[in-house]
Copies of this chain bind each other. A is one copy, B any other.
C-alpha cells in the first residue's frame, strides 16, 4: 500500500497499476491478490490511509470542522489523487469511521438532532470535496501547460481570445481583465467560512 501511494504521489492514479506496484515490491502482479481482492480494494486502502493522516477533529463544532477541512486540504495537497477518490463512493474504512465519529461528537452538542448534525457534516463535506477537487484540477491544468499566465494564454489563448472576441461574453471579459488570482488557501477558507456561517444561521 505504501508502494502504491508512492506511485500515485508522482504520476497520479493512472500510474498505479498492479504490475507497477508489484514491481516496486519485486513481485509479480498476481502476488498482490493474496492481500487484496481487486484493484478497487487497493484504492480503498490507499484512501483510508490518507484519512489516517488527516486525523480526527475535536472541539467546538466550528473549529473542529474548520480543522478537519484544512487538514483534508493539506492531505490533498500532499496526495493530489486523494481528491479523485474522496467523492467517488462511500468508503467506510476504519480511519474514515474514526473521522466521522469525531466529527459527529463535535457537532452534536450544537446540533442535538441527529438529522441536523448529519446535514451539517454532509454539507461541509460536499463543499470540501468539491473545492479541493476543483483546486487540484486547476493545479493540474496549470502544471500541464506551464505555471505562468503567459504560457497558459499561449496554450489556450487562441481559442479563448477568438471566443471572447465574439463579444458574446462581456462579463467573462471583465473577469479575465480585472480579476485577481487569489491565494488558493484564502479562497478555500473564505468559501468554508461562508458555508459554516450559513449552517450556523440555520441553527435556530
Contact = CB atoms under 8 A, between A and B. Distances in A.
A118 B191 contact: no
A172 B92 CA distance: 11
A77 B186 CA distance: 32
What's the number of copies of this chain in the assembled complex? 2
Interface string A118-129: 110011011111
Contact of A97 (B108, B115, B169, B180): B169
Contacts of A125: 130, 134
B88 A133 contact: yes
A195 B180 CA distance: 23
A133 B87 contact: yes
- Chain A interface size, under 10 / 10 to 19 / 20 to 34 / 35 or more: 35 or more
Contacts of A131: 122-123, 126, 130
Interface string A99-129: 0110011001000001100110011011111
Contacts of A126: 127, 130-131, 134, 191
Contacts of A160: 92
Contacts of A163: 94, 97
Interface string A161-177: 00100001111101100
15 contacts: A87-B130, A89-B137, A92-B160, A100-B169, A101-B169, A104-B174, A105-B171, A119-B190, A123-B190, A126-B127, A126-B191, A129-B133, A133-B133, A193-B202, A194-B195
